[in-house]
Amino acid sequence: MQPELIKFPVKEHWAYEVKAVRQPVPGLKPVQANQPEAVFDFLKTIGVADEAQEVFIVLVLNTKNFITGYCEVSRGLVDRTHVACREVFRPALINGASKIIVVHNHPSGVLTPSHQDRTITNNLQEAGELLGVEVIDHLIVGYCLNKQKHHFLSFRQEGFMSISKQQAA
């Protein structure tokens, strides 16, 4: 792949050159995100369920549902974080992704989606339809103290996600 060079003036006589090179992350095994369990296994490797603050992450997927990258787009407090649609879709658009999965943790370990969780999911689905980037799932992850293990909730599995126009076609 040919690197993309971007030149821009900074002051009267200065210019900087930024080189963006897209390449696989060393040691990152290809993960196909066809099942929420596979996504959850991947998330355990990056430790999102163990965070003490709410963290919102975007998983970038190709047309075959392989995870090609991930990006933390927001870090908040113990019980909430602010999520902006444009920040969620930025990694997907930069990397030419056709699909994304959004993920956030509940540090309490209680995975019940809040009203805000459902609202942002619906908003992201609508924005994704306009941008041509399908939001295929939203996972909430956490650590259950009672069971002493990590667990997850999939919006798609629980029926919390609306059927997109792309899926209906």
Helix (H, G, I), strand (E, B) or coil at 14: coil
| Cβ within 8 Å of residue 52, ≥6 positions away | 78, 107
21 pLDDT exceeds 60?
no
Q: What's the predicted TM-score (pTM) here?
A: 0.80
Tokens 């992450």 map to which residue? 57
**pLDDT of res. 123:** 95
Over residues 134-147, the pLDDT tens digits come to: 999 999 999 877 77
Helix (H, G, I), strand (E, B) or coil at 160: coil
Question: Interhelix angle for 85-94 vs 115-131, to 10°?
Answer: 40
* C-alpha torsion sign, points 61, 66, 71, 75: positive
Q: Which domains does the chain have, with CATH numbers?
A: 29-168 (3.40.140.10)
